[in-house]
Amino acid sequence: MKVLLDTNVLIDWLTRRSPFYHDSRAAMRLAVSGRVDAIASASVIKDVHYVISRHYRDAGDALVLIAELLKIVRLADTTAQDVFNALQSRNADFEDAVVSETAARESADFIVTRNKPDFSDSPVPALLPSELIEKFR
């Protein structure tokens, strides 16, 4: 199963953000174990870096965490066509529309996010981290 991990799930895991850390950690364990093929849009990594560098107050530490993340999660390029498709999308949030289009082009089975309603018009269905975990119980 291939899943695209949304920005909030990555940040929750990297910052141990409560109360979301438990489920994001369990989702990441599925990736570490190879039970899911986890990808992230390359376009969101800069946002993840920005947030975690503010959280840890050290850009160097944030880069180390990004490097560790990339040992687990494969980056999926965001293409010009993804952007053009997102412009035509019914999704009101352009950033989420770009993520959806990237997930669709990558043939992801699901987008794992804490904000399922943001992906209600996505061509790829969204799951909460807890719902992904349930699929493997």
Residue (of 18, 98, 114, 105) closest to 126 by Cα position: 114
Task: Kindly list the structural domains of the chain, giving each domain's residue range(s) and its CATH number in brackets, ordered by start.
Answer: 2-134 (3.40.50.1010)
Given a cut of 90, is residue 9 above it in pLDDT?
Answer: yes
pTM of the model: 0.94
Helix 7-15 and helix 42-56, axial crossing angle in degrees, nearest 10: 30
Q: What is the mean pLDDT of residues 79-88?
A: 96
Span of 22-26, 41-45, 103-107 with lowest mean pLDDT: 41-45
**Beta-bridge partners for 126:** 111
Given a cut of 90, is residue 52 above it in pLDDT?
Answer: yes
Report how far Cα 134 is from the mean position of its chain's Cα atoms. 18
Distance in angstroms between the alpha carbons of the first and the last residue of the chain: 14
Residue the block writes with tokens 């309603």:
117
